[in-house]
Structure 1
Amino acid sequence: MKTKVGPKFDHPVLSTLGLPAKTVACFAPAAVASGYQDAPQIETSKTATVHFEDESLLDIVGPGSVVAMPTKTAFQTDLISIRVRARAAWAVTPGGAQVINPSYSSECA
């Protein structure tokens, strides 16, 4: 990002699949408020089935009983799977966020 906007750009850049391609979302850290209720729930399992795919995420079992690959159980790989769930909420105060979808010319791309 620094090569596109200059060396003085000193802000963290995070990526997500939750935004369309070429979309930029900016947030003022002081404008973000968050809240939590109760302690997080932490669960462990030695029998959970895990889908070890990080590019084309599919359900474990799809239409026609097709099983997504690669899937393994924690038992097969001698692992303990951990799930953490927390009741949390966040919001941004008015003016604290901007979302833009720039259309770069071929010279900048």
Structure 2
Amino acid sequence: MIDDDLVFKALADPTRRFLLDLLFARDGRTLTELESELAMTRFGVMKHLRVLADADLVITRRQGREKLHFLNPVPIRQIHDRWIDKYTEHRTAALLDLKRELEGESP
């Protein structure tokens, strides 16, 4: 079970969302690779990665001498299923019904 508050806190920051986008584009990056994409110190990037790891959005694995960072999309999907999907389902069904009615289709 994920802690929704940690995930929302992690996703609230644009720098952390950018790091997730980088990992989405190419998974398994080193701290040096991630740092090169941001105008901040290595320590600053490490702090952001720690928040993402605490929310289970980033998983770090050692490969030889390097630590590679990987995106874990599961908590985002769980947030989607829990908080977004249930609020959009009714509206989507209503829009489909309206479309059918306007186009004269039978359900």
For Structure 1 versus Structure 2, the TM-score category normalised by the shorter chain is under 0.3
Alignment TM-score, normalising by the size of structure 2: 0.21
Report the structure, 1 or 2, having the larger strand content.
1
Alignment TM-score, normalising by the size of structure 1: 0.21
Q: Identify the structure with bigger relative contact order (alpha carbons < 8 Å, sequence gap 6+).
A: 1
Report the structure, 1 or 2, having the larger helix content.
2
Larger Rg: 1
